[in-house]
Structure 1
Amino acid sequence: MDLFRHRRASSVGLPALVLLIAATGCSPADDNTPTSVPRPGAKATKLCRNLDKSLPREVDGLDREDPEPRSALTAGWGSPAIILRCGVSRPAKMVDPKVADGSDPDAIGGGVNGVGWLMEERDDGSTRFTSAQRLVYVEVTVEPGRDTSSVLVDLAGAIKKAVPEGIAD
């Protein structure tokens, strides 16, 4: 797709565009930070595409607003309240023995509605969850201050439907 084929030079349009960018750049709702798209193998990509088709339109009361760049491997709700990435690498803390015995305060394991999760508190105050015991790792990042339990409840059905239990490669 040629993104520039409709570009036209305009002495009036350019200043208006610069003004619009400057105004929205100062807005607290400007959350267009690019989301890193995972690059899993073909098998995992197929599972992630199936997951994308099963994801709910709303999570924790927020409408789906996918991040940039658009991909079947990423999804979002709110802006940027909740970001899902499918096909991520296994987190190092998932195999760290300090997590398994509960001695790592920044990472905890648990389950919600039949989906196991590793929960990690991040330096920026957000919480990152990575699915466990599924054929592909699904990562969900939730902004600080949001109730994470309803997020995981809302996503559990789609993950159980699209990503079978097992050990990811």
Structure 2
Amino acid sequence: MPLRSIRLAGCACALLILAGCGGAVRVEPPVPEGPAAAACQALAERLPRRLDGADRVESTPASPYVAVWGQGRIALRCGVPRPVTMSPTDQVPEINEVAWYADPARPTLFTSVGRAAYVEVTVAREHTPQNVLVDLAAPIKAALPQTG
């Protein structure tokens, strides 16, 4: 398994471990560059305060590329790399005009694709992924232009 995949898997596990803890939730921020960074900053300004019944909470380290709701039960990272497991022939369903790649090996991880930046969303099992992805569609469409 490539080091980047191991880090991403470790990050998702850390989210689940920290979910029951008080205070800021530790989430490793991505490091987007250029147009992706600008698009992610625009997305940060549009994200909801509440998502699928969970309030937004602080993350550490603070980053405009990370948003967390419900003590880490829902986490968003904008500007992540393209999913390594996604192939050009994969069927990618759309929810409210945003395409979401669902990693078959990680059923709680969804990545929006086909836009100025990849947006990774981890949704704990007690939340309904469809509700979360529907609520994130409008801010993603507004902030992240589609790519060819």
TM-score (norm: length of structure 2): 0.79
1:30 maps onto 2:21 in alignment: yes
Partner residue of 2:111? Answer: 130
Letter in 2 for 1:45: A
Change (3 A) 1:121 1:109: same
Q: Closer, same or farther in 2 for the Cα pair 1:121/1:147, shift >3 Å?
A: farther
Unaligned 5+ residue runs, structure 2? 1-17
Counterpart for residue 95 of structure 2: 112
The answer to whether residue 134 in structure 2 is matched with residue 153 in structure 1 is: yes
Q: Provide the rounded CA distance (Å) in 2 between the counterparts of 1:138 and 1:82.
A: 13
| 2: CA distance, partners of 1:87 / 1:39 | 7
* Residues matched between the structures, number: 130
Residue of structure 1 in register with 2:7 after alignment? none
Q: Distance in 1 between matches of 2:19 and 2:114?
A: 37
Change (3 A) 1:69 1:28: closer
Distance in 2, matches of 1:59 and 1:28, equals 15
State whether structure 2 residue 39 is matched by structure 1 residue 56: no
Q: How many Å separate the matches in 2 of 1:28 and 1:132?
A: 26
Q: Deviations over 1:50-76 (max 9, x none)?
A: 000011111101111132111000001
Structure 1 moving runs of 4+ over 3 Å: none
Contact 1:82 1:142 in 2 (8 A): yes
Select which of 74, 77, 101 maps to 1:85: 77
Structure ranking higher on relative contact order (CA contacts 8 Å, 6+ apart): 2
Per the TM alignment, residue 122 of structure 1 is displaced from its structure 2 partner at its CA by 4.9
Instruction: Report the alpha carbon displacement of residue 80 of structure 1 after superposing the two structures with TM.
Output: 1.2
TM-score by length of 1: 0.70
Ranges in structure 1 where 5+ consecutive residues have no aligned partner = 1-26, 101-107
Question: What residue number does 1:47 align with?
Answer: 39
